Amino acid sequence: MYMIIYICLNMNLNILLNFFNYIIFIPMLIISSLMIFISNSWFTQWMIMEFNLIGFMSLMIFDKKMNSMNSMNYFLVQSFNSYIFIMFSMNLNFLSELLNNMFLFLINLCLLTKMGLPPFYIWYVKIMKYLNWMNLFFLMTIQKIIPLIILKNLINFKNLLIMKFNMLNIIYMSFLCALFGLNMMNLKMLMSYSSIIQMSWILMLMYFNELICLIYLLIYMFISLTLILILNKFNLNYLNNLNLFKFQYNWMNIFYFFIMFSMASIPPVFGFMLKWISIQSMFYQFTFFSMLIMIFNSLISMFFYLRLMFIMLMNLSMNMKLNFLNVNFYVNEKFNLLMLVWFMLMMLLLYEIF
C-alpha cells in the first residue's frame, strides 16, 4: 500500500492515469470477463457484472475528455439493468411457470440493454460518440462478453418466447440500425451501428452453433482492434478527416484497406469467410426471408466501410503520379509477415470448420 502511494506521489498526471488504466482497470475488465465462464449461479454472475462495471466506469472517469454526464448516464443504465437482473433471477423457480417465463423475458431484455442491442440501444450510440477509441473498443467487444454468456445460459431454459423475440428483434431492428447508419459522418457512431449489426449475427449464431459463434466473436474483436488502433493513431473521428489523411506509410495503407475489406465482408478475407460460414450454419434453421434481411443488413453495413475506402482511394489517386515506370512495388518485411499470419489463420479457420 505504501509502495503504491509512493509511486503515485512521484508521477505526473499522464503517467498516473496510464498506470491505473493498464495496471489496474484493464486487467480488471479482462479478468472479470474470463471469470464469467466458470460462474454457476445467478448471484455470482451478478457480482462479476458489477466488478466489470466498476472497471469500465473507472476507465471512463479517468478519461480527461469524457463528460461526467455521459459517465453518469452509462452508470444509470447499467446499474438499473443489474438491479432488474438480480431481483428477478433470485426469484426464479419459486413462482408459477407463467411468472417464471415473464421474469426470464425481463432478464433477457435487461441483458440486451446492457449490451446496447435493440430495442433499447439509443443510450449506447450516444455514449459511444464521446468515448475515446480504446474505451470504444472495450464497449464494443469486451463489455459484451458477460451479458452474452448469461444469454447463452438462458438458452438452457428452452423458452420459445424468448427465442422468437430475440430472432425477430435482431432481424428487423438491426435492419433499422443499418439504415440509421447510412448518413452518419461521425466514425464512432458509425462503428456503434456496425457493432450492433455484427452482434446480431453473433447472437443468432449462439442459438445454432456455439463454436462458430465463439470464432466469430474472437475474430471480430481482433479485426475491430486493428481498425481502431489505426483510427486512433491518425486521430480520425469524422469522415471529413479522411481527406486530410496522408499516405506516408505504405504498409499501413495496405493494411488499412485489408481491414476495411474484412469489416465489409468482401471476399476473400476473414469477414467474408465468417458471413459465409454463418449463413451455411443457419440456412436450414431460418426462413428464406429472414436470411435475406440479414444478408441485406450486411450489404448496408458494407456501404459504411466502402465510403471510408472510397474517400481514401480518391486522395490516393490524386497524390499518385501517372507514371507507371516509377511505381515502387517494394513491400517491407512487416507487411510480408502480416500477410503470412493472416493467411495461416484463415487456413486454420477453414480446417477447423470443414
Residues 319 and 279 in one domain: yes
At residue 186, the 3 state secondary structure works out as strand
10-39 mean pLDDT: 72
Tell me, what's the pLDDT at 68? 78
| 75 shares a domain with 31 | yes
Are residues 188 and 327 both part of a single domain? yes
Which range marks the domain in which residue 77 is found?
A: 9-155
Contact 213/206 with Cβ under 8 angstroms?
yes
Query: What is the DSSP track for 224-242?
Result: HHHHHHHHHHTT--BGGGG
Q: Is residue 4 part of a domain?
A: no
Domain boundary residue among 155, 172, 192? 155
- Position 214 pLDDT exceeds 80: yes
Please indicate, yes or no, whether residues 130 and 182 belong to a single structural domain of this protein.
no
Q: Is the pLDDT of residue 94 over 70?
A: no
User: What HEC string does 9-37 produce?
Assistant: HCCCHHHHHHHHHHHHHHHHHHHHHHHHH
Q: Find the distance separating the first CA and the last CA of the chain, reported in whole Å.
A: 53
Judged against a pLDDT cut of 50, whether residue 139 lies above it is answered with yes
Instruction: Report how far apart, in Å, the C-alpha atoms of 280 and of each of 56, 258, 269, 270, 325 are.
Output: 36, 24, 17, 15, 46
Residue 235 sits in the same domain as residue 189: yes
| 135 and 220 part of one domain | no
**What pLDDT score was predicted for residue 330?**
43
Of the three residues 107, 125, 155, the one that is the final residue of a domain is 155
Q: Are residues 127 and 243 in the same domain?
A: no
In the chain, the number of structural domains is: 2
Stretch 227-233: mean pLDDT: 83
pLDDT category of residue 324 using cuts at 50, 70 and 90: very low
Rounded CA gap, 33 and 16, in Å?
Answer: 25
* Across 266-272, average pLDDT: 74
Q: What is the pLDDT of residues 128-137, one digit of tens each?
A: 888 888 889 9
Residue 1 lies in a domain: no
Average pLDDT over residues 215-229: 85
**Is 348 within a domain?**
yes
Q: Are residues 208 and 342 in the same domain?
A: yes
Give a yes or no: residue 2 inside a domain. Answer: no
Q: Which residues contact 314 (CB under 8 A, 6 or more apart)?
A: none
| Same domain assignment for residues 142 and 164 | no
CB contact set of 123 (below 8 Å; sequence gap of 6+) = 73, 74, 77, 116
Position 77 scores a pLDDT of 92
**Residue 148, in any domain of the structure:** yes
Query: Which of 126, 155, 184 marks a domain boundary?
Result: 155
Q: Is residue 3 part of a domain?
A: no
Q: Which range (156-160, 174-178, 249-253) has the least confidence?
A: 249-253
Task: Say which residue, 283 or 103, is predicted with more confidence.
Answer: 103
Res. 89: pLDDT tops 50: yes
pLDDT over 70, % of the chain: 77
The C-alpha cell that represents 249 in the structure block: 506509410
For residues 211 and 148, membership in a common domain is answered with no
Domain match, 140 and 227 both? no
Could you please report the per-residue DSSP string of 299-327? Answer: HHHHHHHHHHHHHHHHHHHHHS-S-GGG-
Bridge partners of 238? Answer: 186
Instruction: Judge if 201 and 325 occupy the same domain.
Output: yes
* Cα distance between residue 44 and residue 212, in whole Å: 27
